[in-house]
């Protein structure tokens, strides 16, 4: 994923600090908010991305989305459906958190 995950990595890992220019970080923030907005819209009227129950799509998208706010600096308050979806994924049976913050 070239935006949300990249911004989170640049913001988190010191060895990437030279690549985290203010211009790049601002562009990634804008692009990431747009992508998160598309995800928010996709959840309008449904709990999961690809049907009435969770699928691999939900698991794959969750990986970077659930830490987009804490690691990437994205304003997740703008995306209430996406935030609720993250909570639903975390509540699935067998969920084991690795990087929840």
Q: Where are the alpha helices (DSSP H) in the chain?
A: 4-12, 22-42, 56-65, 80-90
pLDDT greater than 80 at residue 97: yes
Could you count the other beta carbons within 10 Å of the beta carbon of residue 74? 24
Q: What angle do CA 18, 23, 25 make, to 5 degrees?
A: 70
Record the tokens describing residue 5, joined without a space. 């995950």
pLDDT in tens, 40-73: 999 999 999 999 999 999 999 999 999 999 999 9
Domain spans, the chain: 4-90
Average pLDDT over residues 7-24: 94
Q: Residue 51: helix, strand or coil by DSSP?
A: strand
pLDDT greater than 90 at residue 99: no
Q: What topology is assigned to 4-90 in CATH?
A: Glutathione S-transferase Yfyf (Class Pi); Chain A, domain 2 (1.20.1050)
70 or 99: which leads in pLDDT: 70
Give the pLDDT of residue 100: 55
Q: Report the length, in residues, of the chain.
A: 101
Average pLDDT over residues 13-35: 96
- % of residues, the chain, pLDDT over 90: 92
């Amino acid at each position: 994923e070239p935006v949300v995950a990249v911004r989170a990595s640049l913001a988190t890992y010191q060895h990437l600090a030279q690549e985290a220019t203010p211009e790049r970080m601002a562009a990634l923030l804008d692009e990431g908010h747009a992508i998160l907005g598309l995800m928010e819209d996709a959840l309008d009227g449904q709990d999961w991305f690809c049907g009435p129950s969770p699928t691999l799509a939900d698991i794959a998208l969750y990986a970077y989305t659930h830490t987009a706010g804490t690691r990437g600096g994205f304003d997740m308050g703008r995306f209430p459906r996406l935030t609720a979806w993250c909570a639903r994924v975390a509540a699935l049976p067998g969920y084991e958190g690795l990087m929840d913050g």
